[in-house]
Amino acid sequence: MTSSAMSSPAAASVLDLAPVVPVVVIDDAGDAVPLARALVAGGLPAIEVTLRTPAALDAIRAISAEVPDAVVGAGTVISPGGVRDAVDAGARFLVSPGWTRDLLDAMKASGLPFLPGVATASEVVALLEQGVTEMKFFPAEAAGGTAYLKSLAAPLPRARFCPTGGISLASAPDYLALPNVGCVGGTWMLPPDAMTARDWPRVETLAREAAALRVR
């Protein structure tokens, strides 16, 4: 799915953009555009920029303005204020590591697609009660991995997930094979040495390898 597929963001699904969503931490906003162009060229249009650094919002603004084929989202959204900041910066989807009622209400009110984070069956049920069926499963490996998600599929068939946390190129296919997984989040296409060296061709190559994964 290309960025034009999210021209009406509220109607679109983050889970269907690509098999892998890169989870990006940007320390220098000047890196945002070339990094996003490398990821898009490699076939990964959905890019989650985490709100963990002072440069994050400027990075989202730059990608939104200068990389039209990217679908840039804000990750690590943990407050209603963070939701407002992300929307103002041009984010097109929102991701949180967990959720509260206030945060959930703010994400709903934003009009953007969003993935609230869950790690337990009770959290999933609570979101289903609120009409939310698409979620981030985090931290995926630490919270039980594929075995846990597989065990949720039968009793909670309406829930769909983007597992994130500790996933690699080797383990991603096992997650993508599950019926309740739409995509995975990961950082393996953004190795620290390539990021430090600003080796965007290498990032593009690793992104292309990740984009070749498909939900079975």
Active site residues: 48, 136
Burial track 107-126 (b if 16+ CB lie within 10 A, e otherwise):
bbebebbbbbbbbeeebbeb
How far is it, in rounded angstroms, from Cα 10 to Cα 93?
9
How far is it, in rounded angstroms, from Cα 117 to Cα 195?
27
How far is it, in rounded angstroms, from Cα 14 to Cα 112?
10
Angle of helix 32-41 relative to helix 200-211, nearest 10 degrees, comes to 40
3-state SS of 92-150 is CCEECCCCCHHHHHHHHHHCCCEECEECCHHHHHHHHHCCCCEEEECCCCCCCHHHHHH
